[in-house]
A and B are shown apart, each in its own frame.
Chain A
């Protein structure tokens, strides 16, 4: 099936070369980071995780979001999603590839990464995160590829895939749960020390993942002869609408607990993010923008009129996607580290260089995504013809 990925229009090739260019720039800057060290980033002694880990966290959500089409189709036999499950699975693959790359570029000694397998440490959540992420990647590769090939050959997919498909559903939940456990099990980090962190991560995942999937479906309708279907897009939009409502609700629960209990260790991080602390407030406009975007997303996606109009649906999905990205990608990680354990405020501002590496990783992810989608669309067009 790979032949579909190498045959394409000039526009397809142009897009791929553009993405490779981003990867190339990111790679060159990464060589510099390998040489100098992580000191080229804005990270410091107090904020020891930054943009890379933030984007990793966000993209684990996008990967887990794919389960929102897999689950209805395979568990509830929701036939309409038969056309888009492959898109959800392939999006998950591209997202996990980006997650793993973000972890690698964040390591101080990347050439030692196999120490995680050489000295397996079950008491470390990072050990489990390695297992669930790579496992999810493998599951989606096997399932997506074989189901698509069966579709191309006009046969039902192999029987042995069924248990793997069922396994992939709780596995999707697990990747984001384990990722939340990286943070919420740490003593002395009041912002993350909350049992609702994993549910909150999942709710934002089920909003941002399907929101991106809707946008991708709309692009596919424009640029190919394969139509994922308006009905499917509308069902996904309902998922996004509920998930973003739940996400905002969970956030408000956090605000209530912190500010009604009045425990400084829990309040101060939220204060830092939304109103600033001790004169520092680099994230204040961003966090309010995230809130505004999520509320805009709720308004446009819950209201059936705007949800069913393509223009406002696009705006709604963009708002949800970028709202979640700021909330989880920017605020969640920095917010947890400021103020520091000694209650001092040292802010983290990403540098241009780590921004370029980040863009490079996104370029790689979208390259993988485009290859996979090109194959999927090629098969769908061939089967229809």
Chain B
């Protein structure tokens, strides 16, 4: 009786093994890359050593000239609008000369035109970014093409990067932004509450071979290109014109240049 029971159990065990060995073998021996979507740069991806922007401020006379650019950016990136100033989120906005260049360039006895002119400010995609140094999770990082990116899914919301940024370029989601969006662009992620966000030089558009939305909307008033490529428009504009950058004395090497 005992022997028979043991035999039955042995057979049961063997059959169970026979049934499971194949799936386990398949799972362990499988090529990990097979069947998964591949991630990498596409064929259209625009490449650069350091992307840079040159804004010809002489050609922006009033709010009406900058408004379409700001709107273009905020619409495609699902940037919400809040009535409450405290919760404000902005990627690109216009300010006066004295605020844009506070502390680094004289704002006394300015030429009338310069004093009234709107200056577009945005993340400078610094070559030596203090926000990347500060982030404790590498949720904000510098790409090979110079863009300072945000991983919205890794950010813990400590806001150290906001304290580290000397340009006030970063915004924090103080509440869930989704109910405050008038339109949602399904091609770009919306954010959740509790994470930091900012301009990323339209990295998602560069991947498709397109230039940043604000550059496109500017109709030739902003040059965009590889700072280190002598053939690029940005490089040539910087070479031909006298330009300013914000707070160069801090050594962050901003990649947004202003022709004044």
Contact = CB atoms under 8 A, between A and B. Distances in A.
Interface in A20-54: 36-39, 41-46, 48-49
Interface in A43-73: 43-46, 48-49
Interface in B79-128: 84-90, 95, 98-100, 102-103, 121
Interface string B188-221: 0000111110000000000000000000000000
Interface string B157-193: 1111011111110011111100000000000000011
Nearest to A111: B156
Interface residues of A, number: 47
A49 to B, nearest CB: 6
B103 to A, nearest CB: 5
A121 B137 contact: yes
A127 B136 contact: yes
B236 interface: no
A76 B88 CA distance: 55
A119 B135 CA distance: 11
B160 to A, nearest CB: 5
B250 interface: yes
B251 interface: yes
Interface in A107-154: 107-110, 112-113, 115-116, 118-119, 121, 123-127, 130
A340 B176 CA distance: 25
B103 A39 contact: no
Contact of A115 (B86, B90, B100, B156): B156
A44 B86 contact: yes
B141 to A, nearest CB: 10
A116 B137 contact: yes
B213 to A, nearest CB: 22
B60 to A, nearest CB: 18
Contacts of A107: 156-158, 194
Interface string A313-353: 00000000000000000000000110011111010000000
Contacts of B86: 39, 42-45
Contacts of B168: 45-46, 340-342
Interface in A167-183: 182-183
Contact of A124 (B89, B160, B166, B174): B160
B136 A109 contact: no
B149 to A, nearest CB: 15
A170 B171 CA distance: 37
Interface stretch (A186-194, A281-289, A368-376): A186-194
Contacts of B84: 39
Contacts, number: 151
A384 B160 CA distance: 50
A106 interface: yes
A23 B169 CA distance: 36
A189 B158 CA distance: 18
Contacts of A36: 175, 193
A251 to B, nearest CB: 21
B58 interface: no
B195 A109 contact: yes
Contacts of B160: 124-126, 182
A265 interface: yes
A48 B168 CA distance: 10
A304 interface: no
Contact of B103 (A44, A125, A126, A264): A264
Nearest to B99: A342
Interface of B: 84-90, 95, 98-100, 102-103, 121, 130, 133-139, 154-160, 162-168, 171-176, 192-196, 247, 250-252
Given A44-B85, A48-B163, 4 more contacts: A44-B88, A109-B195, A110-B156, A130-B136
24 contacts: A38-B174, A38-B194, A39-B193, A45-B88, A45-B171, A46-B168, A108-B156, A108-B158, A109-B156, A112-B155, A112-B157, A115-B156, A124-B134, A126-B136, A126-B160, A127-B136, A187-B250, A188-B130, A264-B103, A341-B165, A341-B167, A341-B168, A342-B167, A343-B98
Interface of A: 36-39, 41-46, 48-49, 103, 106-110, 112-113, 115-116, 118-119, 121, 123-127, 130, 182-183, 186-189, 264-265, 336-337, 340-344, 346
